[in-house]
A and B are shown apart, each in its own frame.
Chain A
Amino acid sequence: MNAEVVLFYAFAVLALLSAGMVIASRSPINSALSLVATFFFLAGTYVLLLAHTIAVLQVLVYAGAIMVLFLFVIMLLNLTETEGERAKVTFGRVAGALAAVSLFALLALVVMGVKGAPTAMATAELARFGTLAALGQTLYTEWLLPFEAVSLLLLVAIVGAVVVAKARI
């Protein structure tokens, strides 16, 4: 058992536990904070996959910006009390749980077909994989047009958010 295996299982179990807390906790604030924890543990698994840059982006954008936005909205709407979220067993809930479990069974069946460990890489390649320099080089050469399209998308999202949320313009 080397450190990578131990860290992977620790991160996996903690991520699953906090994801369960997101679903199970009754107040939206607890859900949001559990989601922040999930994002941090997922960032840990990203680092284990040598995706350092994406892990940093995950912490900055997801755990930082997006979750602050969520907490801000919860605070703004004063949602601290639960909105009558009764733990009743209804047909919809049972059907939802069944759908989720059967989807997981199907995905697990497919995923088990992926054999083998990650490809071994030479030391020079390994030092470069997942770094900001390598990501930037791929992004700004091969994927320049999608990158610009995403910047346009973000602009549209900013304008749209203002238009939707503002009572009167």
Chain B
Amino acid sequence: MVPTSNYLLLAAALFCMGMLGVLVRRNALVVFMCVELMLNASNLTFLAFARHRGDMTGHISAFFVIAVAAAEAAIGLAIVIAVFRSRGTLNVDDIRTMRH
């Protein structure tokens, strides 16, 4: 049987890779994908603890995370399309109207 800490380590590694992508990549779409990766890592943590404790509440949390991720993807991609339409770029360094 695989100890729970291995699942949690995998989730931590995936979360940090997602965070690395958010911090390092400049393409807004790829940044978005990395956010999805982080959400999935948190889901894995929920499910690992649900199995660890034999309690299905973690599954409910994972279910809600998936639903919220779907909503977030719909809104976020709409924003990406709107930004691309008005700026002609998806480079997050070039989109800095709200910086000042």
Contact = CB atoms under 8 A, between A and B. Distances in A.
Interface in B39-63: 40, 43-44, 47-48, 50-54, 56-57, 59-60, 62-63
Q: Is the interface of B mostly helix, strand, loop or mixed?
A: helix
Nearest to B30: A31
A111 B5 contact: yes
Contact of B34 (A4, A23, A142, A162): A23
Interface string B1-29: 11111111110111111111101111101
B77 A70 contact: yes
Given A32-B33, A39-B40, A85-B25, A117 B1 contact: yes
A38 B40 contact: yes
Contact of B2 (A5, A135, A150): A5
Given A70-B33, A73-B81, A100-B19, A129 B54 contact: yes
Contact of A74 (B24, B29, B34, B72): B29
Interface in A39-70: 39, 42, 45-46, 48-51, 53-54, 57-58, 61-62, 65-66, 69-70
A101 B16 contact: yes
Contacts of A127: none
Contacts of B90: 77, 79, 83
Contacts of A164: 75, 78-79, 81-82
Contact of B53 (A16, A19, A101, A119): A119
Interface residues of B, number: 70
B73 to A, nearest CB: 5
Main secondary structure of the interface of A (DSSP, over half): helix
Interface of B: 1-10, 12-21, 23-27, 29-30, 32-34, 36-37, 40, 43-44, 47-48, 50-54, 56-57, 59-60, 62-64, 66-75, 77-82, 84-85, 89-91
16 contacts: A4-B2, A8-B6, A23-B21, A38-B40, A70-B73, A73-B80, A74-B29, A76-B81, A85-B27, A114-B5, A116-B52, A117-B3, A135-B59, A138-B57, A150-B68, A164-B78
Interface of A: 4-5, 8, 12, 15-16, 19-20, 22-23, 28, 31-32, 35, 38-39, 42, 45-46, 48-51, 53-54, 57-58, 61-62, 65-66, 69-70, 73-74, 76-77, 79, 83-85, 92-93, 95-97, 99-101, 103-104, 107-108, 111-112, 114-119, 121, 125, 129-130, 134-135, 138-139, 142-143, 146, 150, 153-154, 156-158, 160-162, 164-165, 167
